[in-house]
Amino acid sequence: MNVAGFNPVLVDPQLLSGQSPAASVAELAKRGQIRETAQKFEATFLSSMMQQMFQDVEVAAPFGGGEGEKMFKSFLTEAMAQKVAKTGGIGIAAQVQREMLKMQGLK
């Protein structure tokens, strides 16, 4: 505790700046949605690119091949793309996020 029971750590900075806490919560929620949407966009793009990349890759008999491999190859590329996008991606999500924030009037 500080002077007269005032603890500066517990003071909400939004109260000092004049912003309403509800507006900030709504803005944070919107930013989170925008970040998630940008990541999903990048994952979709990467999945499409990876499917093209692995399209002609053939695996030898005892470890692959057949209809099962063809069917599950799309799941594999989608999972890899989502992981790449979630761990930083290739920069597409950041650009998309920046543009979406501009369109919403947020910095």
Global pTM? 0.68
* 91 pLDDT tier (thresholds 50, 70, 90): very high
**pLDDT over 70 percentage in the chain:** 79
In this predicted model, which residue has the larger pLDDT, 9 or 24? 24
Domain assignments of the chain as residue spans, ordered by start: 19-104
Query: Could you tell me how far CA 103 lies from the centroid of its own chain?
Result: 18
What is the sign, positive or negative, of the torsion defined by CA atoms of 100, 18, 21, 88?
A: positive
Helices first, then strands: H and E counts in the chain: 4, 0
